[in-house]
Amino acid sequence: METGTPSLFERIGGEAAIEAAVVTFYEKVMADPTLAHFFEHMDMGAQIQKQIRFMTTAFGGAKAYTGKDLRTAHAKLVKERGLNDAHFDAIAVHLHDTLQELGVDEGTNAEVIAVVGATRNDVLDR
């Protein structure tokens, strides 16, 4: 990263902001009846930690995400549980709303949603 050019990770607020965002985001997701069933048998503590590492890496932070690639991680949800564009869109809305609540400016929030949007085809296994 160029010196003097803050990463998206830094502009969001760094590790503490990512951690707060992920926890708040999953509270919203688990309260959404169209999404909660995708997570019902997961260890949410472990899921939150994976998501923190993933977002930190995706937004230019130092933690290295070493989990499954997005296509592999979500393929079973697509094939067996019907994960689709409507679910992906709902996730993006919950993330946007979470970042907005945490005071992330709209321009930075839009960049985050663009990064997330770029994963759509991998997440939806197409």
* Cα 28 to the center of its chain, rounded Å: 12
Class of domain 13-123: mainly alpha
DSSP one-letter string for 51-120: HHHHHHHHTT-SPPP-S--HHHHHHHHHHHH---HHHHHHHHHHHHHHHHHTT--HHHHHHHHHHHHTTH
pLDDT of residue 3: 59
* pLDDT over 90 (residue 2): no
Listed by start position, the domains of the chain span 13-123
Indicate the pLDDT class of residue 1, thresholds 50, 70 and 90: very low
Over residues 31-66, the pLDDT tens digits come to 999 999 999 889 999 999 999 998 998 898 886 777
pLDDT digits (tens, 9 = 90+) for 54-105: 899 889 888 677 778 889 999 999 999 999 999 999 999 999 999 999 999 9
What is the reported pTM?
A: 0.89
Token pair, residue 51, equals 């998501």
Give me the pLDDT at residue 5, please: 82
